[in-house]
Structures are given as structure tokens and as C-alpha cells.
Structure 1
Amino acid sequence: MSVDRYSPLHPKIVHQLKSTIEEPIQHNEPRFITVSKNFYNACLKMNETEKTGRHTLIEKLKNLCGWPLLEGDSWKVQKFDWEQASYSLVNEGLITDSFFAFNIVTDFKDSTKNVLEIDQPMLRFDRKAFVKGFSDKSVKDYFHNMVDTAVKYGANKDRAESELRSVLDFEINLATITLSDEQRRNQAALENLMTVKNLTTTYPFVHWKKYFNTILKSAFVIGDEEIIKVSVPTFFAKLRPLLKKTPKKVLANYLVWQVLEGQIQGSFSKGECLDITSQYLSLNAGAIYARKYFTPESKKNAEELAVSIKQQFSKMLKKLSGTKVERKNIADNGGVKMSYLAYQDWVKRHGPEPTLPGLKYSQSQLFWIQAAMTQCAKYTPEYLKNFSDSPQEFIDEFAFPSEFRATGVFANMPEFATDFSCKVGTNMNPAQKCSVNTGADI
């Protein structure tokens, strides 16, 4: 857990945004406000649907694939076919994937084209926890949630604990044959293209042409020569024997659990609905907040600053060539650099600002100090231990301790060294710097 300088502000901003977005829709308000309010209200209404639709859902599941856990001995194993059950559930909109993922994605080698992709499934939570099995606390909590949900839908608790443990074991086995995030970093290695005909020969446990055409619902017809991107071929090679050795009752219960968990995830509190609205309609949410809570002077200053940063960004793009800092590192390096250059442009237009009384720092130096303050944070010992044990995971998520986000970025900035007169070769002015402009050492 970490706490930074923005933590105290967050609840206030959330409350202000919530009170604004919950106001009644006005006939003359801008469309971006109306869209945001409708989105938020639609999210809240999903709770009502979940409460009133349980009986309807159970009846639908019985007709589509059945639910062994609830039906008991009356469930007919000989009638179950996981492939047909998957078709039915996907076409009813009850699940998006079954035992693997299916997407339409941009061709990695040609961004002007889209391709059909099959991939390993999206796991419910951290793969490492799944691989540890029932000894992991999060897996235990997940299992208890499975049982509680099944009971809520009418299952006997003892029977739920028994049969859902088998489902959990299957899900653990499924996670075990997937690749970790670290193993998936090589995008080129995941770019395995083959025709539907070759796909059927290589992985014959699925009627692939029927699968694609059934899922796509005649949006377009897939033929034998259609190119399919197969991400993680090792997963599909191992999936066949896993499905073959798993009892049909377990597969059926697993598919139904996917449906039920989707229903749970479709129920949100007001706070969660606000978060979802802010995430998917982030520009709208920002505009709504600024419209109500920014003063005219604040809006003017923000607009002027935005123009300056946009100009600096345009200059940077013209110089950009073959950069290796991942996009999140560019956000820090490039963001600070653009802000600094934008501020210097502002000084040229308006003249230098007076120094603050009682401080020995110039305004340029105060810029760096303020930029560093935005990264101030406190961390629990557990957070720092996790960072020490698995630093690569934090780097990938850009969640590593903020101290390094400040010192690492500033040390790459010649402007910082100039403003603070740092000698070449010191920690904050290394002889070799990584530049976001050129992607090479300067």
C-alpha cells in the first residue's frame, strides 16, 4: 500500500464529481454531460437486473447446457458437449470466452489490417496465485466466493463445496498451462499466423471454422484459407489433453461459473459505477469537473499551459526516432521535459517570475522541486518487500517506488543539471543519459 500527496484530494474530487453526475439531466446541457449521466445511471440499473433476473438466468442455463451442481442426478452427461455449450452461452451474451479467448486484433506486422486471434484465457486474478493453488489466501477467498455465489443461486452448500472444488482445480490446471506476463513480452513470438485449415489440422479438438462462423453470427463468413493469429501455441497444445481428461460435469460447472461470475461483475456500487464512468469516459468526466469547479482564471491558465505543452510535444515527435523507453517511461521522461520547456516558453512571453521570499531557489529550480513533490509517497513495509522480491512486475505496471521515478527522470535531463550546476559524472548528471527525443545515449 502507498499513500502520496494526492491521496487526501481524491475523496473530495470523487465526491464533487459524484454530486455533479447524479444531478438530473437537463434538456439544454451539452451532449458529453448527458452521455456521462446516462452511462452512470445504466451502470446502477445493472444491480436491479441482477437481483430480479436470477430465476430467469437459471432457467436459461438449464436449456442451454444445464448446471450439474443444481440439477444433480437429473443432469444428463451424455447430452453435454463443451463446444456446443460454449457456442450457446457466447451467442446468448452470457460469456465472452469459454476455455480460450477469441478476439479481433490489429495485425502486429501491418497496423492497417485486422486479424482473428485465439489466445489463452484471461485469468480471474494473478497467475502466480493460481499456480500456488489452494494454499494461497486469494485462491481460498476466491473459492469461498464461488460457493457463496452458487448458494445464492439455489445450490446446496455441501454439494457446492464438493463440486466447485473440482472446478477450482480445473481452473488452476488451466492457469498452469498459460504463459506468464514475463513470457508474453516478446510480441513477435506470439505472432503465429496460420490458415483455418492448418489450424484444424494442428489443433483438431475444435471445429474451428464452425466455431468462428457461429461466434461471428454471419457478420462475415470464415473460409478454410482465412488467416488466424494463434497466440501461445503451447497453450492450445496442452489444452486438448486437459479437456480430454476433465469430466464433463466439471467442464459444465466451469462454464456456468463463468456465467455467474460475469453476473457478479455486472453488479456495481455507486462508487464503482463512478470509477467505471471516469475510466471509459475520462475526457467527459474531466470536462464535467472543470466546467463546474474551475474558475475562469484557472481555465484560462490551464488552456494556455495545454497549448504550450502541445507545441512542445509536436517538436518532440519530429525528433523522435527509434525510442526504446516503454510508453509509460515516455510519460515520465517526456512529460517532465515537455512541461519544463513549456514553462520556459511561458517565461519568454511573460517575463521571469519573482523568487519566493525566504527561499534561495530560482523559479527554474522550484519547477524541479515541485515536479519531485508530485512523486512524494509513503509505502508500507510489505509494498517495499514485494518490490524488492519482484521488481520487474512493478516496472511493468509502473508502480515502483516514486523516489526512482523522480531521480531517474531528472538525472536524464540536461536542463536539471544546468539549473542546479551538477558536475558531470555525479548521480544527478551522469555522463551518459537516455534521451526520450532520440532513443539513444547523449
Structure 2
Amino acid sequence: MSIPCIEINKTKVENTCDLCLTPYCIKAANYLVESIDETVDPCENFYQFACGKWIKNAIISSESNEQSSLSQLAKHLGHTLADLLSSSSSNKIKESKAITNARRLYSSCIDEDTIEMEGIDVIMSMINKELGGWPVLQGSAWNESTFDFDRLMLKLSQYNNYIFYTVNTGVDETNSSIRSIHIRPSNLAIHNFIHYSKGIKAIQAYQYFFENFTLALTNDSSAIDDDLIDLLEFEMELFKYFMSQDQSDFRETVRTTLGNLSHTINVTFDSSNYIRRLYLFANVSVIDADIVIVSAPKLLHGISSIIGRQSPRTMQNYMIWRFMMNRAWHMPKRFRNIIQQFTHVFDGTSTEESRTITCANYVNIVMSLSVSKLYIEEYFHKDARKETTEMINNIRNIFITMVNRSTWMDSKSKTIAIEKTRAITAKLGYPDYLESDDMTKLDKDYAEYNFNLSYMLNVLSAIQLHSKASLQMLRYPIDHKEWTDISPTRVNAIHRLLRNEILFPAAILQAPLFDKDAPKYLNYGGIGFLMGHEIAHGFGDEGKEYDLNGNKVSWWTKATVNAFDKRKKCIIEQYDDYTLTQVNRSVNGEQTLDENIADDAALRQAFFAYQQWAKTHKNVDKKLPGLTKYSTEQLFFLNFGHIWCTKMTDESVHSDLVLDKHSPAQFRIRGPTSNFVEFDRVFGCKAGQGNSRVKKCNVW
């Protein structure tokens, strides 16, 4: 039933005929009113204008490193998943084995009494029986003659712990229709931490972490100090070697076969035999003709040389330590407290998040499709897929127009770019089979998952199952309908260059980014921006190296590349000039380039797509109560700003500036808006004001 609107004295009361008064519009009006700081001129500082009040009132809880619209969405998702996984959760789904085991894993995770009672027996038994023990705990009783590097590396790899060399099944970059074996240097445990604060603070925290962790395992501390010194010296040698290498060494790739691998990489272990045995663990037989893609072969050799100079004791200590580091969050409370103290240095958190959310998020990683089945049945409206499909098609068409109108791209490159844009596959929400009541495929996907009351046994089992499944992909044909790399219950979106596809999970198609009942200016300013962002990734500094089939092919002409390089230089310099006053540190324009190009293009795509929609749907979008002074175009920008409202700990800001490829949130707003003449028009800004650059930097 429609409710008639009543127009009362316009000077005193809002005209309800022009207002959207649905429950969602009331909600949206509230969050925007509580976010905007109207004492700030949007032309001077749009981030502060859009987010000032929100930032002032935002409180970062002790278990978080930030407060933002997206982190709130993720936290809400965690509570939702915990409710769905609890035994008391009511749902319409006939319980399948896959769902039952997801619930069992969750139950074992939240059962802290059993975790404390079980203690460390399970994991220590495994280390002693399967991995050769841990010298730092055994002191002089450990026999170094038992050390077998190849065997230990293989065993740890089966638990998805690739300490020095990472092996995985991946898509072949030169032919994206087939899979191949990939090998590359693994990340160091301390690598990112040392970057954080020029080493001193990081090394001290790392040292205390190791000491406190091992002391919690033994009453005999006599061997700890010497072993710790050797371990740190070894890892620092690896770190210094990594830092001394040219970036081109990291980017180098060599295509070979398994039969020729030993002639391709110069390492001190039998690399071909290691890979054969690793895949055999997953019941996959590999042959000499199998393609192997080697990344950074020079570094693989350098790592091997450093390893060869270490004592068996140092190697055993280090490799087991790396294994234990990755298990610490799953251990009893005293060990979780120790790793919490360590991570506090880098993210500012001081307590664990709620156990129910921790466990729900963990199950969402291990059995994501089971969790997604529960989620979409209860919380995702099917109409959302229809509407977001229409949105993404509109935004795609706008990008094609932008390519056509570009003045720097030659006609040959434009033609291929448009073909690639049209060929992009958009996956929205979830894989189709999750809609069905037939659980056959879901149960088949998780057929080997059988969990019990022991949480640590469940964790170790899940790791091995994941490792096997990843390796087994080598013999599976590529199915372009499958969802990989991201689950429907993730608050994120991705562009997969090797498939020329973009994915938007059900969990991100939620307010304030999207709602099926929201005015279009909110949806285009929210999820529309992310849609444009992911499309643009196919045409940035990295995306330009992949064609419409996902093959690594340089399809831009030399003239187009040269013109692009001039434009990207402008963007690099723009972001290099941004300083985050919270920590008095500048943004790295080179590091964040691809994301900045995508952000800049995304805002244009989303805005022009909304404009185009509005032209054919005149007076359909109504304004929000309490915000009638703003036009629908201004409300588009306000919701865009709101989704990036963020407050972070100093530690987390430091870490992100060093490690994240995205610019800090305030510059994800300021950068694109300051380059956009339509933003200036909508808010009446003049070029040269604080939020409007005279020299606009644009690629698209």
C-alpha cells in the first residue's frame, strides 16, 4: 500500500513527496548525517567534510587496529557467521555432511576448556614424532645426525608451511587454459616486521616473541639464548640478502620442465625429486614433461647457499619455529597472549577479538563454501544479483566510452582494450550451485573433511586437506565457472588477471556499499566505485600485460606505452606529495600506483554510469530526510566518501604505508576527487582549492 505524501510549508518542513522514507533510506540518512562535518568546506578537504564527525566519534576497540565502514561490515559478518554456525542457529537448509563438519569445526574452536585441557600435547607429539623434534626444547639431547633437510622441508610443505621455497599449482601465464607447477622464494618471517621501524623495534619484539614462546614450553631455558642468537643471525642474513637484490631479480621468471628443473635452478637439494614427492603426497603423479614456472631463480640459488652454511641445529630450530609461529593463534590462551604482545607492536591491538568471531572467521577460511551456503540462504536476496549485474554492465559501458575518448591511446590499442573490456566476466554473489537444495556438490567438495572434538587435530587435518586440494588442481581442467581465490563470505572484491574476471562476493554486496532498496546514487557511490575499480585493474600498470583471455601478452603498442608512462608519472608524483600527518610519513606513489590508477578511473566510471541512469529515470531517485540541501549527485560523492571513513592505530598506519599497495583511506578520497572536474562542478569548487588540483592527473 502506498502512503500519500503531504506537502507542508516548504520553508519549515521538508516536502515528504520528494523524500525517500523507506527503512533503508532512514538508515542511510542517519549514517550520513552522523558522518558529515558541515563546518568543513568540501572544496578544501572533502575527506574531513564527508567523514569528520564519524572520525571524531569513532572508537577503536582494543581488539581492532582500525575502525572503518568496511571493518564494521566485516565485524558484523563475523557475528552473523558465528550465529549461523552455532548449534542453536535456525535455518531452512537440510543439514548436509559439509554443513555438519563446519559446525563441528566451529564447536571445537570455541570450546576453550577442551583446548586448555588438551594443552600442547597434540602439536608437540607431532613435532617429536613427525618433524624430528625441536632442539631449543631438547637442549643437548637433540641429535643433529638425525637432521634431514629434504625430509623436513617436504613434511612441512605437506602442512602448507613453505619455509624457503614455495611450490604451488597455478595457471600458466602464457596459456591461461592450462595449469602448471610454480616455484618461488618464500616470504621471511621477519621481513615485513623489519621494514616497519628500521629494524630495532621489530627485532626486539621478534626476539621477545621467540623467548617467551619457548619459555612457555619448557622449564629449561639453558639452550634458548644461544639458539635464539643463531636463529636471528640466520634470518638476518637471509633478510640482508633479499634486500641487496635488484627488483628485476624478483620479477624474473623462467619457464622450464620438471625434467630440466635441476639444470634451471642451482640449489643444494634435489628440487625435481622434492616436487615429485610433494605431489605424490596429494596422489598426483608428475612427469618430466610437466611445465614448471620458476620465479626469481637467482634468489633461489642465493637462499640455498645461505642455508648450506648453517648448522643442522640452527636449521631444525628455525624450520620448527616457523611452523609453530603459524600455529600460535590456535594454541591455548597463554600462547595466544604471547603472539598478541608481539603483533601489538605492528598493529596496536591489545586484546584478542571475541572467540566466537575468531572461530567463525577461521571456519569461513577452511570451509568457505559451507559457510557461504548458510549465509546466502539467510542474508542474501536474489534480486541483488539482478540489480548488481545491471550496474556492472552500465559501468563497463562507461569504461568503453572512456577508452574510446582517450587521447593518448592509439586506435590499435583502443580496439584491443575494448575487446578485453567486453570479455570481462563478472561473478556476483556466489557460485550458482549454492542456490540449490541439492547438497551433492557441496558434500563432494568437502568429502574428506571429518572433524572431531580436538581443535588442534582439526587444525592440522584442515591444513593437510587444503594442501592436498591445492596440489591436486594440477590435473583438474580449468573451469571458468568456479569461484577461486575469494569466497562469497568475504568482504572484498578482486580482479583475476589470469582469467579476465572480476568477483564481488555476497558479503560485500551489503550496506553501505549496496542495498537493493537504496537510491541509485548510494549504490553507484558505494559498490559502483568498487566495480569500476576492479574493471580498471585490467588496464593499469600490471593489467596491461594480460590480454582478454588472461594470457601474459604485451598488447599495447610502444607509442601507447610511452603515453601511459607520462600519465602514470603524474599520478606517482601526486601521491608522493601526500603526507599522513598522524605518523608524519609520506605515501609511496610508486608502490600504490596500480591502486591509485584504478581508484581514479573508478570514481569517473561510477559517476558517469549514475548520470546516465538518472537521465533515463528522471525523478525516480528521491533525496534522504535531513539531507535535502544536497543534490543526488552530491549524495553520490558523500556515500563514496563515507565508505572510506577510517580511523587507525599509529602502528597499523605505519605498517600499511610500508606494505599496502593501496593508499591510506583519506587519499583514496582526496586523490580521485581532486582530479575530477565533475566533482568540482557538483560542489562548486575552483581549481587550486585544497581539494581541487590545478593539474589534473588522469589515465582514463
What TM-score does the superposition give when structure 2 sets the normalisation length? Answer: 0.50
Displacement of 1:241 in angstroms is 2.8
Deviations, residues 306-343 of structure 1 (Å, cap 9, x unaligned):
24422313424655627226664466345444543454
CA contact (8 A) 1:305 1:342 kept: no
CA distance in 1, matches of 2:95, 2:253: 41
CA distance in 1, matches of 2:278, 2:133: 20
Matches within 5 A, 1:300-319: 305-316=387-398, 318=400
CA distance in 2, matches of 1:163, 1:215: 30
Structure 2 residue aligned with 1:69, among 136, 144, 155? 136
CA contact (8 A) 2:136 2:223 kept: yes
Which residue number corresponds to residue 351 of structure 1?
Answer: 619
Displacement of 1:382 in angstroms is 6.9
CA distance in 2, matches of 1:130, 1:7: 25
Structure 2 residue aligned with 1:190, among 237, 252, 258? 252
Alignment pair present for 1:403 and 2:666: yes
Displacement of 1:149 in angstroms is 3.1
Q: Secondary structure at the match of 1:367?
A: helix
> Which has the larger share of helix?
1
CA distance in 2, matches of 1:404, 1:277: 34
Matches within 5 A, 1:13-412: 14-24=78-88, 28-29=92-93, 38-39=101-102, 41-43=104-106, 45=108, 52=118, 54-64=120-130, 65-91=132-158, 93=159, 96-127=161-192, 129=194, 136-154=200-218, 156-178=220-242, 189-196=251-258, 198-201=260-263, 202-217=265-280, 219-223=284-288, 226-267=290-331, 269-277=355-363, 305-316=387-398, 318=400, 321=417, 323-324=539-540, 328-329=595-596, 332-333=599-600, 335-344=602-611, 345=613, 348-349=616-617, 351=619, 353=621, 360-378=629-647, 386=654, 393=658, 396-400=660-664, 402-412=665-675
CA contact (8 A) 1:106 1:113 kept: yes
CA contact (8 A) 2:91 2:378 kept: no
Q: Secondary structure at the match of 2:617?
A: helix
| Residue range with higher mean Cα deviation, 234-243 or 337-346 | 337-346
Displacement of 1:251 in angstroms is 0.9
CA contact (8 A) 2:163 2:319 kept: yes
Deviations, residues 108-155 of structure 1 (Å, cap 9, x unaligned):
33322332222222223543517989x633333333332333344446
CA distance in 2, matches of 1:215, 1:70: 28
Q: Which amino acid aligns with 1:123?
A: L
CA distance in 2, matches of 1:197, 1:175: 31
Displacement of 1:15 in angstroms is 4.0
CA distance in 2, matches of 1:62, 1:316: 61
Change over 3 Å in CA distance of 1:316–1:39 after alignment to 2:
farther
Deviations, residues 40-66 of structure 1 (Å, cap 9, x unaligned):
651552575796373354344334423
CA distance in 2, matches of 1:343, 1:286: 30
Alignment pair present for 1:416 and 2:679: yes
CA distance in 2, matches of 1:161, 1:292: 54
Q: Secondary structure at the match of 2:133?
A: coil
CA contact (8 A) 1:410 1:416 kept: yes
Displacement of 1:281 in angstroms is 7.5
CA contact (8 A) 1:424 1:430 kept: yes
CA distance in 1, matches of 2:631, 2:197: 54
Displacement of 1:210 in angstroms is 1.4
Displacement of 1:246 in angstroms is 0.9
CA distance in 1, matches of 2:197, 2:85: 43
Displacement of 1:349 in angstroms is 2.7
**Bigger relative CO (Cα 8 Å, ≥ 6 apart):** 2
Question: Unpaired runs of 5+ in structure 2?
Answer: 1-64, 337-354, 404-416, 418-537, 542-592
Deviations, residues 231-256 of structure 1 (Å, cap 9, x unaligned):
22232222233222211111112222
Q: Secondary structure at the match of 1:271?
A: helix
Q: Secondary structure at the match of 2:187?
A: coil
Deviations, residues 345-397 of structure 1 (Å, cap 9, x unaligned):
1563362556677854422223223322333445667777x49xx95x36x43
Which residue number corresponds to residue 437 of structure 1?
Answer: none
CA distance in 2, matches of 1:78, 1:376: 57
CA distance in 2, matches of 1:173, 1:19: 47
Q: Secondary structure at the match of 1:158?
A: coil
Change over 3 Å in CA distance of 1:422–1:304 after alignment to 2:
farther
Displacement of 1:88 in angstroms is 3.8
Q: Secondary structure at the match of 1:239?
A: helix
Q: Which amino acid aligns with 1:58?
A: M
Cα RMSD of the aligned pairs, angstroms, is: 4.4
Q: Secondary structure at the match of 1:149?
A: helix
Q: Secondary structure at the match of 2:222?
A: helix
CA distance in 1, matches of 2:249, 2:211: 38
Change over 3 Å in CA distance of 1:408–1:88 after alignment to 2:
closer
Change over 3 Å in CA distance of 1:6–1:85 after alignment to 2:
closer
Q: Secondary structure at the match of 1:157?
A: coil
What TM-score does the superposition give when structure 1 sets the normalisation length? Answer: 0.75
CA contact (8 A) 1:25 1:37 kept: no
Q: Secondary structure at the match of 1:397?
A: coil
Q: Secondary structure at the match of 2:682?
A: helix
CA distance in 2, matches of 1:300, 1:209: 49
Deviations, residues 40-97 of structure 1 (Å, cap 9, x unaligned):
6515525757963733543443344233233333332223221123234444x3x532
CA contact (8 A) 2:255 2:293 kept: yes
Change over 3 Å in CA distance of 1:67–1:21 after alignment to 2:
closer
CA distance in 1, matches of 2:373, 2:678: 33
Displacement of 1:162 in angstroms is 2.9
Displacement of 1:413 in angstroms is 3.9
CA distance in 1, matches of 2:293, 2:243: 16
CA contact (8 A) 2:253 2:297 kept: no
CA distance in 1, matches of 2:681, 2:142: 76
Change over 3 Å in CA distance of 1:27–1:153 after alignment to 2:
same
Question: Unpaired runs of 5+ in structure 1?
Answer: 435-439
